[in-house]
Amino acid sequence: MYAASWYVYPSHCLGAPVVQSLCHQGQRVSRSGPLRMPKRISSQRTARSPQIHAAKTARTDQFPADRPFAPGYGIVGPQDGLGLLPWTWVARKMNRCRTFWVATIHPGTTQARPHVMPVWGVWVDDAFFFSTGRKSRKGQNLAANPACTIANDDGEEAVIVEGQARELVGAALLERVAAAYKKKYKMDPRGMGEPIFKVEPAKVFAFIEKSFPKSATRWKV
C-alpha cells in the first residue's frame, strides 16, 4: 500500500518566503508557510500497531488456560495439537446460546443429588446471569448451597462453567444485565419480581467434539 509522506527542505537552503514541496499520495502540491522538521506519518502508524495488538491480547486472554485433567482420552499437551482455545471463544458461544442448562444440588445428607433444569441467561463481563423463582427447586437449592454448573446447549462445541451463584444487588450492573435480556429475549427479568443470580466462574471448560484431544481447554478464573 502506498503510504503518504511529507518532505521539507531545510530553511538555510531556500530564500524567504520559502516554498515547501509536499508529496502526498503521488500528487505534488506547493504552498508557502513555516518550515517544520521532516516526519513520516506511515512510520508513526506502524509503530503504534504492535501496542494496540498487545492490548487486545491482554484483555481477551486474561485468565490462565491449560488442558483439562482427563486421563485416558489422549489429550495432548497445551503447546501441541491445535493449541488452546482463546477466551473470546467462550464469550462467543455463551452469547449465541439461547437456552442453558443449570445444575444445582439438593440440600441435606439424604437427598444430596444433582438437579438440572433449562434456563435463559446472559453472559456479561465474563460472568453468567440468570433468574429463577426464589421458591423453585433450584432457587431453594442455591439458597442452601450456591455451588452450580452452567452448560450451553451445544454438545459439539460445549462450554461448561463451574462457580457459585449469588443474588445480584448492584443497580448499575443490574441495569446492564436487564438490557442484555431485553436484547436477547425481548423481556426484562426484573418484571418477574424474582432474584437474578450472578455466577462468577471458578473453572471454565471448552470442548470441540471434532478436535477434542487437540483443542480441549480449561481456565481457572
Q: Are strands 65-66 and 99-105 parallel, antiparallel or unpaired?
A: unpaired
Range of the domain at 111: 65-220
Q: Are 127 and 201 found together in one domain?
A: yes
93 and 121 within one domain:
yes
- Which CATH number covers residue 79? 2.30.110.10
Per the domain annotation, does 42 fall within a domain? yes
Residue 205 placed within a domain: yes
pLDDT tens across 28-71, in order? 444 444 444 444 444 343 333 333 233 333 334 678 999 999 99
Give the pLDDT mean for 21-27: 40
**How far, in Å, CA of 133 to CA of 54, rounded?**
43
90 and 44 inside one domain: no
Q: Is residue 44 part of a domain?
A: yes
What is the rounded CA–CA span in Å between residue 148 and residue 219? 17
Which of 20, 35, 59 is the endpoint of a domain?
Answer: 59
Tell whether 25 and 78 lie within a shared domain. no
Residues 92, 151 within the same domain: yes
- Which of 37, 201, 56 lies closest to 121 in space, CA to CA? 201
- Average of pLDDT values for 152-173? 97
pLDDT at 111: 72
Q: Are residues 173 and 214 in the same domain?
A: yes
> Is a pLDDT exceeding 90 seen at residue 150?
yes
39 & 122 share domain = no
72 lies in the same domain as 117: yes
**Percent of the chain residues past pLDDT 70, beyond the cut:** 72
Q: Are residues 119 and 18 in the same domain?
A: no
Could you tell me where the DSSP H helices lie in the chain? 41-60, 87-96, 137-144, 171-185, 212-215
Question: Do 73 and 138 sit in the same domain of this protein?
Answer: yes
111 assigned to some structural domain: yes
- The domain tally of the chain equals 2
Please, are residues 131 and 197 in contact by the beta-carbon 8 Å criterion?
yes
| pTM as predicted | 0.71
130 and 193 share one domain = yes
